């Protein structure tokens, strides 16, 4: 009963779906629920690592493109010569087929998390005006590096905040659930014992949910 009360309160206060779902699933099927939770956490971790890797490669790609262009090469040549995974096979085919650099920029836009739109706009402008792209590429690389550094600092701060929430809020909740599951509530099982536990659990969930909601907004 306490488990479902916790789940209901969690939904009402807007706790993260993964936390509420994990509590519900583990309560229904502890073994399968734990396996599913671990799998979901692993997938989420993989997606975050991929995002961080793309941000790092964007900086390296822009710097390499700027180096080739500054040395006298064209942007098309610089992109064709790049070994970055951000330069997809489709982009390479466009370069080999002689497509306009504006089309090449549009194809690369989704692969650049920080400067995708600006890079595509630069390519389109260069296509129509013939303007140099060396300085914009350097500026884009600097901007991507600043964004990467800021993201690292924010990620560290959010990790510390969430860890505090887990320690202060989730750990006591798990202990409470364990006491209930093992029948460890002191006798007599009266409202004098149960009500304070439910109220305490509700306060813990509310505080934890607030932290996760705030940190979730900061992460987006």
pLDDT value of residue 176: 65
pLDDT value of residue 197: 66
* pLDDT tens, position by position, 35-67: 666 666 677 666 777 777 777 888 889 999 999
Q: Read off the pTM.
A: 0.54
pLDDT value of residue 131: 84
How far is it, in rounded angstroms, from Cα 204 to Cα 21? 17
pLDDT value of residue 155: 75
Task: Please list the rounded mean pLDDT of every run of 10 residues in the chain (220 residues).
Answer: 60 58 63 64 69 80 91 90 90 91 93 90 90 90 88 76 66 65 60 62 68 61
pLDDT value of residue 94: 93
Task: Provide long-range contacts, Cβ within 8 A and 24+ apart, for 213-219.
Answer: 213/14, 213/16, 214/161, 215/158, 215/161, 215/162, 215/165, 216/16, 218/154, 218/158, 219/154, 219/158
pLDDT value of residue 214: 64
pLDDT value of residue 102: 93
pLDDT value of residue 108: 92
Q: In the chain, what are the domain boundaries?
A: 2-219
pLDDT value of residue 123: 92
């Amino acid at each position: 009963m306490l488990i479902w009360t916790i789940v209901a309160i969690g939904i009402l206060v807007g706790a993260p779906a993964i936390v509420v779902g994990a509590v519900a699933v583990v309560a229904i099927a502890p073994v399968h629920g734990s396996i599913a939770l671990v799998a979901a956490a692993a997938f989420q971790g993989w997606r975050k690592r991929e995002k961080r890797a793309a941000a790092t490669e964007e900086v390296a790609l822009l710097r390499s493109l700027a180096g080739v262009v500054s040395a006298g090469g064209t942007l098309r040549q610089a992109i064709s010569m790049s070994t970055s995974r951000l330069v997809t096979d489709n982009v390479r085919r466009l370069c080999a087929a002689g497509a306009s650099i504006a089309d090449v920029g549009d194809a690369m836009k989704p692969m650049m998390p920080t400067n995708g739109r600006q890079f595509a706009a630069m390519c389109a402008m260069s296509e129509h005006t013939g303007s140099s792209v060396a300085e914009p590429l350097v500026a884009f690389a600097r901007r991507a590096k600043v964004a990467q550094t800021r993201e690292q600092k924010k990620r560290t701060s959010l990790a510390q905040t969430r860890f505090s929430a887990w320690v202060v809020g989730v750990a006591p909740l798990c202990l409470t659930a364990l006491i209930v599951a093992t029948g460890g509530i002191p006798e007599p099982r009266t409202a004098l014992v149960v009500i304070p536990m439910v109220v305490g659990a509700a306060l813990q969930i509310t505080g934890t949910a607030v932290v996760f909601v705030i940190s979730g907004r900061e992460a987006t």
